[in-house]
Amino acid sequence: MHYPNGKKRMTTNQSKNTLNNPTNFGKRGMTLENDINETNHYYLEWNIAVVHKKPTPVQIVQVDYPKRSAAVIREAYFKQASTTDYNGLYKGRYIDFEAKETRSRTSFPLANIHQHQVDHMKSVVEHNGICFLIIRFENQDESFLLPAEQFFPYWDRQFQGGRKSIPINDIKEHGFKIPFSLQAKVDYLKVIEQVYL
Write out the binding residues for Mg(2+).
Answer: 83, 85, 98, 117
Residue type, 109: P
Closest CA to 138 of 29, 22, 36: 29
Binding annotation? 83, 85, 98, 117
Beta-strand pair 72-78/165-167: unpaired
In this structure, are residues 95 and 87 in contact, taking their beta carbons and an 8 Å threshold?
A: yes
- Structure-derived torsion over alpha carbons of residues 166, 169, 175, 177, reported in degrees to the nearest 10: 120
CA distance 156 to 158: 6
